[in-house]
Amino acid sequence: MKIKLAVTLKKNILDPQGDAVKVALKQMNFKALSSVRQGKLIELDLDISDRKVAHDLVEKMARELLVNEVMETYEILMD
Amino acid sequence: MKSTLLIFPGSNCDKELQTAITDIGSIVTRVWHKETDLPSDTDVVFIPGGFSYGDYLRPGAIAANSRILRSVKAFSDKGGYIVGICNGFQILLESGLLPGALMRNVNQKFICKNEFIKVSNTDSIFTKNFSSGEIINFPIAHNDGNYFCSDDDAKSLMDSNRIPFLYENNDNGSKASIAGVLSKNKRVLGLMPHPERASFQEQGGVDGKRFFNSMLENI
């Protein structure tokens, strides 16, 4: 089963990379843009067919390695 | 003082660190990350700078979950001394041995320069030989040196005197200009600046030698 994990900086943390991207887009004339935040996408392919088992395993992986909960937050994306 | 130096794939400041520590009279044992145990007579564990695992995922994240770190945590639980320099600091934060996290420098640049660092307290073996408030000079060289922690952690660090080093010029955006952090028992130190690059006159300064000597004399 393929599961995606979207990882972003917590809302209250400054994201200079996102700001740099926003400046670049505005300079390219994309005016209707109020904010940009940049994160990362981790794609996992698990040998599991049960959706709940797969979800819980990804959550465990997120907590133990894939996400630093001091500064990041995450969303598990399943089809 | 028996020093154990951890080596990860991508560590690159180990030789310089070994030279600096050996020079002040400590005996250094190099330990590859795949080992499960530290030498039994270890007094202090050093985790050097570099780019362990290429900084993949997050700097220090993968090294923090390596087998040898389990022994390092057990060593710390028994009151052992640990110093994490730069990537070593990142590894200590990711492993939970120190509070907080290190993020991308706020100016989006890799900062490589000699930096003025204030010794903000002399409450540990690492800073005992300095004067409180003294300004020293250590090189910094990092892309992800922007220290962050919760307001509660920051208050706790300040209240219990666990911030030994502050940046005089906070170029990387670190919270409260924090350049280094101590554990609750003040035996685990993480710092972004490189004392091993200020250990010989040829390097441009010897404040680093004073740092290592402070450890040797007070451990």
Q: Are B147 and B166 in contact (CB under 8 A)?
A: no
If you average pLDDT over every residue of chain B, what do you get?
Answer: 97
The pLDDT of residue B160: 97
Rounded distance between C-alpha atoms, residue B5 and residue B83, angstroms: 10
Q: What's the pLDDT at B110?
A: 96
Percent with pLDDT over 90 in chain B: 99
Residue pLDDT, tens place only, B77-108: 999 999 999 999 999 999 999 999 999 999 98
Whose tokens are 């955006």? That residue is: B173
**pLDDT in the model for residue B38:** 98
pLDDT at position B127 is: 98
pLDDT, mean of residues B29-54:
97
DSSP for B124-152?
A: STTTTTSPTT-EEEEEEEESS-EEE--HH
Question: Which residues on chain A are in Cβ contact (under 8 Å) with B107?
Answer: 16
Q: What is the pTM of this model?
A: 0.95
Q: How far is CA B208 from the centre of its chain?
A: 12
Of A64, A65, A70, the CB nearest to B148: A70
Tens-level pLDDT at each residue, chain A (79 residues): 999 999 999 999 989 889 999 999 999 999 899 999 999 999 999 999 999 999 999 999 999 999 999 999 999 999 8
B194 is catalytic: yes
- Classify the complex by whether its ipTM is higher than 0.85, answering yes or no: yes
Give residue A79's pLDDT: 84
Interface test mutation site (partner A, options B53, B56, B58, B146, max chain A beta carbons within 10 A) = B58
Average pLDDT over residues B182-194: 98
Six token digits for residue B184: 């609750």
* pLDDT number for residue A16: 87
- The average pLDDT across B188-194 equals 98
